[in-house]
Structure 1
Amino acid sequence: MLTILVANIKGGCGKTTVATHLAAASAAAGLPTVLADVDRQHSSLGWLERRPGQAPALVGLDWAKDFSDAPRGTKRLVIDAPAALKTKQIEDLVKMADIVVLPVLPGAFDEQATQRFLTKLDELKRIAKKKTTVAVVGNRMRARTRAADRLDRFLGGIGHQVVTRLRDSQIYADAAESGLSLFDMPGKRAAEHRGDWQPLLSYIDGV
């Protein structure tokens, strides 16, 4: 079983969007996939409740209080972590993870929080020994803007691999409202945005 932790101590950076899309992509590829929601707001579980029956099946786990085992036969476990994680929570979740996917938005506050989180991650033995890898994702990027240029400069100097950059688009909100992801949606627009995810999916497959 490959375990993917989606985390950042900065709220509103798109963790749930990334977690639900990674889970949906795995399910669409035919892999038995579990989505574990650690956040007490249960955003990921709420998305699962809205998910139509004809979409590829996913199993949801409520990890807000306790961690429970994934069902036997699970191939992918995607963990949606809350913001403002305590050090012990970070340690416990990273111990489970093969990959930490870290979304970051353009903006000084997001960059500061992300840098603090990366510093904490770098202190953990699993990260230092490369037993758990870190994949940074630039999220809600708008081309040819000063904010995007600033984020690119920041991402270029953080010492961790920036795997991909996801464009800002209303399509993500539309998908979330219906319990769907880009990997469940037909049409050219969804296909174009799915291309942004391919480097991250290829990175995960290579771990």
Structure 2
Amino acid sequence: MRSILVANVKGGVGKTTIASHLAAAFATAGSRTVLAEVDRQRSSLGWLERRPRTAAAILGIDWTKEIGEPPKGVDRLVIDAPAAMRAKDVEQLVREADLVVLPVLPGAFDEAATARFLGKLDELKAIRKNRIPVAVVGNRLRPRTRAAERLDRFLSGVGHTVVARLRDSQLYPDLADSGLTLFDLTSKRAAEVRADWTPLLDFIRSLD
């Protein structure tokens, strides 16, 4: 089983969007996939409740009160972490992961919070010794804007692999309302936006 933790102590950076899309990408590729909800807002579980039965199956598990064991026979476990985690919570979730995916938005506040969180991660032995890689993802980017340029400068100095930059698109909230993702669609427009995810998925496959 490969376990992916999607985390950042800054709220509103798109953790649930990225967690749900990763889960759907794995499921549509034929992997037995579990999406673990740690955030008490239960956004991931709410998304799964809206997911059509005709879409690729994803099992949701509730870890909001206690982190448990994933079901047997799982190929991929995606963990949607809450914001504002305490240090001991971060350490516990990292122990469950083979990879940490860290989304960050353009903007000074998001960058500052992300830098502090990366500092906490770097204090953990498994991260510091590169046993658990951290994949940084720039999210909701608008090309050729000052915010995007600023984020590029920030990402170039974070000290971890920047694996993907995801554009800002109305498709994301529209699909979330229906329990779907870009990986559930076959349209040309969806394919164009979905291409942003290829570097991240390739990076995850390289760990297998």
Query: Shorter-normalised TM-score: what interval?
Result: over 0.9
Which residue in the other structure is 2:106 paired with? 106
CA distance in structure 2 between the aligned counterparts of 1:202 and 1:28, rounded to whole angstroms:
15
**Structure 1 counterpart of 2:6:** 6
Query: For 1:57-136, what aligned pairs fall within 5 Å after superposition?
Result: 57-136=57-136
- Misfit runs of 4+, over 3 Å: none
| 2:137 alignment counterpart | 137
Aligned residues: 207
Runs of at least 5 residues in structure 2 that lack an aligned partner in the other structure: none
Cα distance in 2 for residues equivalent to 1:58 and 1:179: 11
After superposition, where does 1:31-46 map in structure 2 within 5 Å? Answer: 31-46=31-46
Q: Deviations over 1:36-89 (max 9, x none)?
A: 000001000000000000000010011000122211110100000000000000
**Which range is displaced more, 87-96 or 66-75?**
66-75
Structure 1 SS opposite 2:163? strand
Mapped to 1, the partners of 2:131 and 2:48 lie a distance apart of 30
Paired residue for 2:201?
201
Aligned to 2:159: 159
Identity fraction in percent: 67
Structure 1 counterpart SS, 2:3: strand
SS of 1:126's equivalent in the other structure is helix
For 2:150, give the aligned amino acid: R
Contact 1:61-1:68 within 8 A present in 2 as well: no
Secondary structure of 2:162's aligned partner: strand
AA at the equivalent of 2:197: W
> What does residue 150 of structure 1 align with?
150
SS in 2 for 1:138: strand
- Structure 1 residue runs of 5 or longer lacking an equivalent are none
Give the alignment's TM-score, normalised by structure 1.
0.99
Measured in 2, the distance between the counterparts of 1:136 and 1:89 equals 20
Q: Quote the Cα distance in structure 2 between the aligned partners of 1:97 and 1:119.
A: 18
Give the whole-Å Cα distance in 1 for the aligned partners of 2:123 and 2:193: 35
Q: Distance in 1 between matches of 2:58 and 2:160?
A: 30
TM-score by length of 2: 0.99
Query: How far off is 1:8 after superposition?
Result: 0.2
